[in-house]
Structure 1
Amino acid sequence: MRAEVREYVADAARLNRQPVLVLDPLAALDCSEAGYAEWFTEVAEGIAAHRALLVLKDKECETASPRTTMMTAGVRNLRASAPQAMVLLDATQLARKQDPPGVARALAAWSVKDTTGVAINVGEHTSQTVTDRYGIELHRTLAAATGRRDLYVVADSSRGGVASADGCNPPDARIGSYEVLSDNPETTQHLWLTTPGISDGPCGTAPASQPGQFVPELATGLLAGTP
């Protein structure tokens, strides 16, 4: 992990670009506290003094584990060892089940106050109109829960151009705004945090695909009706 992150952020620096990393600690871990600590250390050392936007995905562990403790320690490690990194906690899974106040309480326990903010709709198809409203309300409740009014809410807009049936590789998903950013944290920011054309799995309009596989037909389908 350390070498891959280092190479990616160094390449971005040479091109004078802002590297964006969406990383899932559980992709290579067994939810153990030692594994989490090692993973965060490798990511932090890979970024080092470079600037980077890092989205930390979070999923349920199948076995009991002190996720709150591990995430808090990991975030603090990143802030100390990669001071130029802008860290966003992925609240997508939480937002599926809870309203903004509930999400804010959970994120407060994960040391969101030590981050740049949160990401929502990562890999999903919710329209920008909906994520705009949700993001504004989430920002308000985060400010109340943490005392910080400068936490940003960034929505994945790669597949949020229109209201969609959602689900798995839905046929009516459309591409969203590539980059809508401002200095005002009270507005929902928009970035492509998922590569358009990446499959959700063997379902919907790509029944023979695998999760994470790039399918050209999915990418072109997102452009249907786009001028």
Structure 2
Amino acid sequence: MTARVRARTRTLTVAAATAALAAVTAAVPAHATAPGHQAAAPTALFTPPANPDANAQILDLLKHRQLKDAAGLLAMTLTPQAVWFDGGTSPADTRKAVDKTVSDAARRHALPVLALYNIPGRDCAQYSAGGAADSAEYQAWIDAVKAGIGNRPADVVLEPDSLALVPSDCGMDDAQGTMTAQRYAQIHYAVDALEPLAGTKVYLDAGHSGWHSINDIVPRLIAGGVADATGFYLNISNYRSDSEIAWYGKLLSSCLAYVSDGGAATACPNQYWPVNDAQTWLDANVRTAPSAMKHFIADTSRNGQGPWTPPAGVYSDAQDWCNPPGRGLGARPTLNTGDPLQDARLWVKIPGESDGQCTRGTAGPADPERGYQDPAAGKWFPQQALELVHNASPSLFPH
């Protein structure tokens, strides 16, 4: 390559990058904090470094002059997101990693969201199998997380799927339910360790509105120690709409308050009741003010187009949660939801990272909805990342 060609190539690359960055300036939410920039308000949310493969995809798009797609992916990665900690390191290394994230956020006057994902028997030994070997190892890990946080602010999303998918749900329990009882004790240990920290709020797993009924999930939350936590979270890595999640969250907070006052969870209205009937019941039976109820947060990272409806009669197991096609980014993260029970909308699942190798009941290995094999769980999924950008609602590029 001649010096003239190299110079021209550099010029084009810089021009493309400048155009992409300019396009994204208005698209990045005001509360997203770029590296080295201090948020103007203490309620800003922390933006961690992007997945390196996301950056590689952005550079490749720039190289091929696909500027709008590059700008969209850049906007996505510059939006506040959770930081996941999934074990696999020593307690000392865990403490250092958590400390680094919380320290980076504190320097930017931003609130980090920590997704802790190391419960024994995680994900019923399926796509995201792993976790600590036993309760003792898990408690040591939680203690390391606690030391890493210290007294600095942090929101903790404690163990996705840990209560909506307990060992007894997937045939991992014995006749006495020992493993499920251990699961509740493990979650409660984490709550007792982390919630008392000066700046920490802990939220427990409550699945989503398309999974468990209110009457089923409330006893699980109670067994996991929700009484000692700030509240619960909804829709992690899922696609339920904001309005559906808000109503489910209200029913769940209300039922927890009702049970706390001596009522039975079986009496509470659930998401399948007619809305007017459920509201009438709440008005008659729940006396607790919203400020005194358990609050919730919701994951809006991929729910911009709502849930996917699989084609009827095609798949024996459609896996509608697993890399469904045609989904989009959802509402941008914020701590100002306008809902007295909802503390935040967050991007907890990292958009663009795969849910796993989805075969939808077929022999595989290809995902029959896509015609190719999906990346393993947690790996970057370039095609899906662009789908999420293209189908974002609200759009990343408002007019």
> What does residue 324 of structure 2 align with?
170
How far the C-alpha of 1:117 sits from its partner, in A, is 0.8
Residue 132 of structure 1 deviates from its aligned partner by: 1.9
Cα distance in 2 between the residues matched to 1:139 and 1:168: 28
Q: Does 1:214 align with 2:347?
A: no
Unaligned runs of 5+ in 2: 1-93, 120-129, 262-287, 309-319, 359-366
Alignment-mate amino acid for residue 350 of structure 2: T
State the TM-score, normalized to the length of structure 1.
0.88
The question of 1:201 aligning with 2:356 is answered: yes
Distance 1:188 1:17 in 2: 16
Contact 2:297 2:342 in 1 (8 A): no
CA distance in 1, matches of 2:223, 2:233: 16
Q: Are residues 1:75 and 2:191 paired?
A: yes
List structure 1 runs of 4+ shifted beyond 6 angstroms.
none
Aligned to 1:101: 215
Indicate the residue corresponding to 1:158 in structure 2: 301
Correspondence 1:133 to 2:247: yes
Q: Which amino acid aligns with 1:171?
A: P
Aligned counterparts of 1:169 and 1:20: Cα–Cα separation in 2: 23
Q: Secondary structure at the match of 2:377?
A: coil
C-alpha distance in structure 1 between counterparts of 2:323 and 2:141, whole Å: 30
TM-superposed deviation, 1:96: 5.6
Query: Residue 208 and residue 71 in structure 1: after superposition, are their counterparts in 2 closer, same or farther (change >3 A)?
Result: closer
Q: Which residue of 2 aligns with 1:88?
A: 203
Corresponding residue of 2:104: 11
Judged with a 3 Å threshold, the aligned counterparts in structure 2 of structure 1 residues 45 and 207 are, in CA distance, closer, same or farther, namely same
Task: Please give the residue correspondences for 1:27-66 in structure 2 after superposition, counting only pairs within 5 Å.
Answer: 27-30=130-133, 32-57=134-159, 58=162, 59-61=165-167, 62=172, 64-65=178-179, 66=182
Equivalent pair of 1:108/1:146 in contact (CA under 8 Å) = no
Which amino acid is 1:15 matched to?
R
How far 1:185 moved relative to its partner? Answer: 3.5
Please say if residues 125 and 164 of structure 1, whose CA atoms lie closer than 8 Å, have aligned partners that are also in contact: yes
CA distance in 2, matches of 1:157, 1:145: 28
Distance, in Å, in 2 between the alignment partners of 1:43 and 1:168 is 29
Separation in 2 of the partners of 1:163 and 1:8? 31
The separation in 2 between residues aligned to 1:79 and 1:189, in whole angstroms, is 17
Does the CA-based 8 Å contact 1:160-1:174 persist in structure 2?
yes
> Which protein is bigger by CA-based radius of gyration?
2
- CA gap of 1:97–1:208, structure 2 versus 1, over 3 A, is closer
Secondary structure of the residue aligned to 2:132 is coil
Q: Given residue 33 of structure 1, which amino acid in structure 2 is its aligned partner?
A: S
Contact 1:164-1:172 at 8 Å conserved across structures: no
Distance 1:216 1:3 in 2: 31
Paired residue secondary structure (1:72)? helix
Give the 3-state SS of the residue equivalent to 1:25 in structure 2: coil
Structure 1: tracts of 5 or more residues without a match: none
How much has 1:55 moved relative to structure 2?
Answer: 0.3
Give the partner amino acid of 2:131.
A
**Matched residues in 2 for 1:85 and 1:183: separation?**
22
Q: What is the letter of the counterpart of residue 138 of structure 1?
A: L
Deviation string, structure 1 residues 105-128 (Cα, Å, up to 9, x no partner)? 211121101111111110112222
Q: Deviations over 1:86-105 (max 9, x none)?
A: 11112227x66421132122
Shift of 1:164: 2.3
Structure 1 residue 219, shift from structure 2 partner: 1.6
The answer for the alignment partner of 2:282 in structure 1 is none
**Secondary structure of residue in 2 paired with 1:207:** coil
Structure 1 residue 83 displacement after superposition: 2.6
1:129 aligned counterpart, secondary structure: helix
- Kindly provide the amino acid, as one letter, of the partner of residue 75 in structure 1: V
The answer on whether the counterparts of 2:98 and 2:145 sit within 8 Å (CA) in structure 1 is: yes
Q: 1:25 touches 1:56 (CA, 8 Å); kept in 2?
A: no
Report which stretch shifted further, 45-54 or 17-26: 17-26
Please give the alpha-carbon distance, in whole angstroms, between the structure 1 residues aligned to 2:194 and 2:218.
Answer: 21
